[in-house]
Structure formats: structure tokens, C-alpha cells
Structure 1
């Protein structure tokens, strides 16, 4: 994949088209604390020796082939052009590894040789990159992993709390149903860490309500599979009181509409199609997504670490739930954009606000 290189000098000429970073100072301790929340009370903090900027930052992306990844990379490109960010960056480069661990290792090794100050990583493997990450850190390079994080304690890991996401969805449904009835739980891809964490968070809540029963199926984070497994469940269960859904839940809602079943409270990740249907059909819903803007937060963490600021070794980025009543066309969902568009493109707690045009078109 062709490399993308953006210099701060070039960026300065096109800032007007890319919006502005909400944080006045990317490295202010109070602002950093609002964005990067320690994973647990015992999570260690990291404070490195400050380096003079501006900095050379490389981005190693494991996979490029779905809408989320496209938005994520567009957000990264737009973010480094914003005035509050561009002044810290002399060079920014993206490389895509095709979800190949060996290729990503080789690319990171070239970044080490290229004299980069920081490397931001969406990893192809939790442990397969550990050796080259440790090598980078030993060369004085800051390494920040996000989304698909890594297991070495040499990197700073940033993600959203998947267990909390699952828990919040379950709490919403418990409240909406009064803690009674059957919950259809349309999970993601069986056996994955994200699905396990989301599911465990949900079941910890559901088990507290004796009046709730839970039927679990797997939708593989795919709209078509979600629609099929939900339709199959509805053919044998006509008393579903709520649907716990994640990525691909647009299909679950489509299944209800297809068979003309009574619409019930539902949850979803931030799929534009789901939100459009929820508003149109007045479905009580709670949407929480894995934001593609995590890339921008990771870049901010790299800049802060290079500046000598204190950060958690493992940090959770605050979640931004949206209910049906809070959905606003053109603000947090987009009627004119494809159903597959991921809508949570801003992280206000981290000062990340990207114009929708930059997310869609990469400009």
C-alpha cells in the first residue's frame, strides 16, 4: 500500500478544510487526564524524558479493508493537519501491513531505522509484534497501540472499555423492560476478546434480574448474519422484550421490520443504518461504538509522551452513548451517508472533532 506522508509545513496550508482540535493544548495534564483514564486503580503511569519537537510520527496499521478502517485512517490524516496538532509534527507517515504479522514487523523495523520519534500501532497480533516493539522502545521511540492492542508492557495501550460497553447496553435494556421478559442477545464473533468482554459485561448485569431470560445467538458483526439469526430467533420466540446488539445490529432491526414483529428496545454500535431506522421507527435504542477516532487519541498520546507528560500504561478512552432521543440528523447520524458509515467520529473528552467530509473523503 502506498505510504501517506504529511508534513507540518504542507498541513499548514490546508488547515481550514479540516476543522480544529478542541483542546487548546494537547499536552495539558488536566486535559490529558480527561481523555486517558487508567484501566484500573493499579494501572501504572508512564512519564518519559521530554524530547524537543516537532516530532516524526509513524503509523503502522495492520489491516485496510473495511469501512471502520477507512474512516480511522482518514481521521488520522485529518487530525494531524489541525493547527493544535500540526505544530507538534514535522512528518507523519502511514503504512498498511495487510493483516500480515511478518509484514507489520518488517515495516516497524523500517520505521525504527527511519528515525521516527513515535510509532502508533493498530496491531495484527496481540503478541506477535512484541519483540519489534521492545526493539523500538530500546531505541528511545515512543510506541502507542490502540484498538487491537499489544501485550508487551513497553508500549502504551489505548482502547475503549468493551466490558463497560456491554454492561451499559444491558443496563439500558434492563431499565427499558423493567427487568422482565426475554432478551435476544445477538453477539459478535464467538471466541474473540472483544465479544467475550462485551458479553461478560452484559451477563454480569442480566444475571442480577431474576425476571429476565437471555437467548444468545452470534451475528459475527455482520449485518446480513444479524438479520438471519434474528429472523430465525423470532420464528420460534414471539415474546422478545429487547435485543442486545453490537456491530451489525442494523440487520437485527431489519429482521423485526421484515417479519412485522413488534418493535422492542435495542442496542447497537454506532452504525448509521441502525440509527436511521431507529429514528424513523421510533425504536428505543442505545448506541455506543468503538470510535475510529481512537487513531487521533493515540496520536495525541504519542505527542504527550514525547513532551514528557504522564500517561497511564493502559488507558480507556471515555465512551459516548447516544439514545434515540439524542440522535440528531447531520450531527451524530447522517441520513445522506451509507448505512455502513460509522457515526462516532468525535471524542469530545480528548479534544478530537473531525469534520464529516474529511472522514468520508479523506481530505
Structure 2
């Protein structure tokens, strides 16, 4: 498995570190999250709690509260961030509904002396920090895999994420670039699955009757199992479907592998990137020098890694990596190298 740095959070380690972080024991950090309607976002919030609650309990920081808007709406998240500014948080960690539409309120936060760290759905406002994977490369990796497994090419169905979100545009850009570089592939249909299995299944089922034979499905995560169910319900041959590290996808993949040797790969950003963003915010509040842009590896699962990855992924969850303060320091130290 190709993965980001893996850290095991322990209260003891946090207590040992707390003396070094004395300057942040009175600091409050908030998470502003724009969406929680799929398993990845739920796992992301769970990782945040798993890491930040011990940090608060051991006085590394005074608070690390999470807030999620009810809808993926820029206006609602902007209002949420304005409320966090008024509540006196020292840092706001943001998973943004838009890369640029929140820039105004992000600048307001910075002007008020608040540290802003965006992750996953990053922002372009220069005063903010950004923690992200190379989503464009992630999309390109999918097509590169197809060139090895299906060198003759064929028709592709693309399942995209949430429309208008940076992540969706970036992954799509990588897939599009890969297809343009390999003319044996043709995208004959595209739907938005919102990174949710139920939505993906419904949207794929709706478009399938109008599509020719599909050789492979390129995805963004949280849509592979839904796509497989749609093809099965339509009585159509199961194509090669790129998976997105969700437990239901990995379980379905293993069942098909055991039954008929089905082969694919799985790739996504680890939900625990929220914990890296937390520690980055804490480091900045502690006066550490942190580059404005940090890139972390995406989490890729190959055929040989399937059983091991499935065994360590909880039911209904997502294959994950969480970060300790020491992991975050290593990421920062390695930036630009």
C-alpha cells in the first residue's frame, strides 16, 4: 500500500509534548466543514475527534470544536466562519465549499488575526494555508492504471464528485488529461455522484440506458460500489471500476476477486488529513514557520494490498491515515524537498 505517514495517537505522547506546546494551551481551534453527507466526511469528522479530544484533554490547546453546515452552500459556510470569528477562535481549519467564493470571509478572519488552514477543499486566498493532495495527479493515476490493465482502450464512464468544489474539478482535470494523452479511451458519459454510493447508483442507473458498452468506470471516491450495483441491476457486464477506499467498495471488490479474479485499484485522500490540518494550525499558533502550501500523498490500494486494507477498515468506514504532532512536523520539514 502506498500511504501517507501513519501515526498512532496516544494521550501519553500528547502529555509529553504539551510542555513544548505551552504557548497554545489557551488557544482555540475550530473546524469549519461544508458537508457531511457521505462516509468519507463522516470518517474525516471522526478522525478529527479522535485526535483533537486528547489534545484538548492534555492542554495542548483549549478547544478544537467542529462545525458542519447543513448544506454544501457557500453562503451558509461564509456565515458559519463569520460566527467563528465573532466567537474568538484563534485558528479556523476549513474544508471549503469553494476554492474562491469564501475568500472574502477568509480574508476577514486573517485581518482579525486568526490563522486559517484549509484542507481537502482548499481556498485560494493568499493569507490562508493549504493542506492537500495532488488531486489532478490522482485522476491521472486512474487512467495510467487503465493503460496497463486495458491497453487496447475502450469506452469510459466518469463519475464526478460535488459540482463546483475544487476537488471535483482537479480530479476531473487529471482524468481528462490522461484520456487526451491516450486516444484509445473515450469518455462516453459523465454524472455527478457527490462522493456518495446512493447518489452514484441512482445517477449511473439513469444514464446507462443511453450508453454503449462500458469498459471501465473512472471515479472520485464513494461511488464505486454504487456504480457496481447500477450495472448489476441493469443486467450489464461489470466493467473495471476504480474504487475510492470505502469499506463497502473494498468488500465488494474482495467478493468479486474471490469469485472470478476481478482486478482493479482504489485511490482517495485519507480522511485523517483533517488531523494534519489541525496540527498545522497548532504549529502556526505556536510560532513555527510553516509553508503556505503542503502536499501529502494520496492513499492508494493495489490488488495485493486488498485483504490487508479491508481488514483494517471499519464497516461503513474508509481506509484511513491519522497524524500525530510528530507526523505533522515531518510533513512540514519535508515541504519543498
Closer/same/farther in 2, CA of residues 306 and 189 from structure 1, 3 Å limit: closer
Aligned residue among 168, 171, 182 for 1:209: 182
Q: Distance in 2 between matches of 1:144 and 1:217?
A: 32
Closer/same/farther in 2, CA of residues 152 and 228 from structure 1, 3 Å limit: closer
Could you tell me how far 1:85 is from its partner in structure 2? 9.4
Aligned residue among 216, 236, 240 for 1:242: 216
State whether structure 2 residue 148 is matched by structure 1 residue 148. no
Which residue is 2:136 aligned to?
Answer: 163
Could you tell me how far 1:279 is from its partner in structure 2? 0.7
Which residue is 1:72 aligned to?
Answer: 44
TM-score w.r.t. structure 2 length? 0.75
Aligned 8 A contact 1:21 1:351 in 2 = no
Q: Distance in 2 between matches of 1:82 and 1:176?
A: 45
- For residues 23-62 of structure 1, the aligned pairs below 5 Å read 52-54=23-25, 55-62=27-34
Q: Distance in 2 between matches of 1:230 and 1:111?
A: 39
Could you tell me how far 1:269 is from its partner in structure 2? 1.7
Aligned residue among 273, 277, 288 for 2:252: 277
Which residue is 1:12 aligned to?
Answer: none
Q: Distance in 1 between matches of 2:203 and 2:184?
A: 24
Q: Distance in 1 between matches of 2:133 and 2:256?
A: 29
| RMSD between aligned residues | 3.5
Which residue is 1:223 aligned to?
Answer: 197
Aligned 8 A contact 1:267 1:287 in 2 = yes
Could you tell me how far 1:180 is from its partner in structure 2? 2.9
- Per-residue displacement from partner, 1:159-188 (whole Å, max 9, x unpaired)? 222211111111111111124333333334
- For residues 263-274 of structure 1, the aligned pairs below 5 Å read 263-274=238-249
State whether structure 2 residue 324 is matched by structure 1 residue 345. no
Could you tell me how far 1:136 is from its partner in structure 2? 2.7
Which residue is 1:5 aligned to?
Answer: none
User: Normalized per residue, which structure has more helix?
Assistant: 2
Aligned residue among 253, 270, 276 for 1:297: 276
TM-score w.r.t. structure 1 length? 0.71
Which residue is 1:313 aligned to?
Answer: 292
- Between 1 and 2, higher relative CO (CA 8 Å, sep ≥ 6) is seen in 1
Structure 1 unpaired stretches of 5+: 1-18, 29-49, 353-363
Farther off after superposition, 158-167 or 126-135: 126-135
Could you tell me how far 1:332 is from its partner in structure 2? 4.3
Aligned residue among 197, 210, 230 for 1:255: 230
Closer/same/farther in 2, CA of residues 278 and 227 from structure 1, 3 Å limit: same
Could you tell me how far 1:303 is from its partner in structure 2? 1.1
State whether structure 2 residue 312 is matched by structure 1 residue 326. no
Structure 2 unpaired stretches of 5+: 1-7, 329-337
Aligned 8 A contact 2:270 2:299 in 1 = no
Could you tell me how far 1:326 is from its partner in structure 2? 0.8
Farther off after superposition, 78-87 or 298-307: 78-87
